[in-house]
Structure 1
Amino acid sequence: MIDLVGFDGDDTLWRSQEFYDDAQAAFEGILGRYVDLTADGLRASLLATERGNIALFGYGAKGMALSMIESAIELTDGRIEARDIHRIVRLAKDVLSHPVDLLPGIREAVEAVAAHHRVVLITKGDLFHQEAKVARCGLADIFHRIEIVSEKDTATYARLFREFGLTPDRFAMVGNSLKSDIAPVVALGGWGVYMPYHSTWAHELVADFAMGDRVIEVAGAEAIPAAIATMHTRAP
């Protein structure tokens, strides 16, 4: 049986990635004044810089802005003007202050699951930003525990299972990222409800994960309670 159900935050409970996509588009508009974006492979360069900086800056808008500034200086050979660097900083501020819009049906789904199971929120990213989104989402009171972590990998989930006093086979995770929400949990022996989002950061994409019978993919929040109920009957 499933004793505990975890929910991801960004792009599972509330909208997030499109705000980063908008910032990316605006960043390309800024850099387009200095370089040929097609010839210089801006997106690949920025992604490589972001990935290299995650261990130092972590996830979120602040790390994104620092990586954008670093990439802008490198790609323009230092020609970027101070006012355009300031514009990049404002992009991050816009992302940090975006509204917290719940996905359709997610409140009802969380409440339905919480009627039969303990539920926890497990989200990663900048601590201040995630705390602000949790406070504004209107769902915090439903969760038995809220965890904001710097990374979502097998080591993190294993630590959480120890703290929860729970074996992985009694846990199911609901999320939009196979890399962060589903694959690590399944690797430890848990269960996953995969709800794809229409836009996914390239760093979160995986090409070699086979979902198997411990993962159920759903098209929307309304199908989450039934997926958890199915896992509840399958679990030993």
Structure 2
Amino acid sequence: MKFLADLHIHTISSGHAYSTVLENARAAADKGLEMIAITDHGPAMPGGPHIYHFGNLRILPEELFGVRILKGVEANIIDRAGTLDLPADRLAPLDIVLAGLHTICSPCGSVEENTEMLVNAIKNPWVDVIVHPGNPEYLIDAEAVVKAAVEYDVAIEINNSSLKLSRAGSRPYCEKILALAKEYKAKIIVGTDSHFALSIGNFSEAIALLEKYEIDPSAILNTSIASVESHLARRSNRKRQKV
């Protein structure tokens, strides 16, 4: 299975990552990737970038070292209404919006409350991808979340880092989500969640999971640049005048 894009990548602007945009782009080029997304954490994350950071992403070039650069965010879901930590006028100009539940930023509740929080975020018209939904810190009704993702045409991420380094105990929950995504034909994105350049393009743990569940490569958006572009173009915010 060949991946052409890595759509979940952090830089030093996230406060707890260790590579620059240039270093990330060079690493992606060395791995043969055609596209990356710069998705630093939203401002609710301790040590994360100020809101101005996201407005100024427009200064980044469209391409570095032959790799297309998408300007995005990994927004924090900050309440049970699914509110993100960036307002609409900051989300509108971005190429890609990831959203996820994070310690400190997101209230942790019952399965029902956590599910409601994620489903409400999925309903947000700016959200393109829900990241690491298999996080065991936030137990959810996985079937309800996957069905909502299908209904609102939002992709579900299989997070390689969750299977290897971070969010210990995620694997069984990721497996359940992947099986449900296959059953309901949800869109899937595989992300490295890279916090250091050398991990960009390393999808090894996720690939093993995809093979275990016999997921067709065509179901994975970032095996095709055209599929990524089609997904990101589907919402009205891609057609609005940028602010």
TM-score by length of 2: 0.34
Higher helix share: 1
TM-score by length of 1: 0.34
Q: Highest Rg: 1 or 2?
A: 1
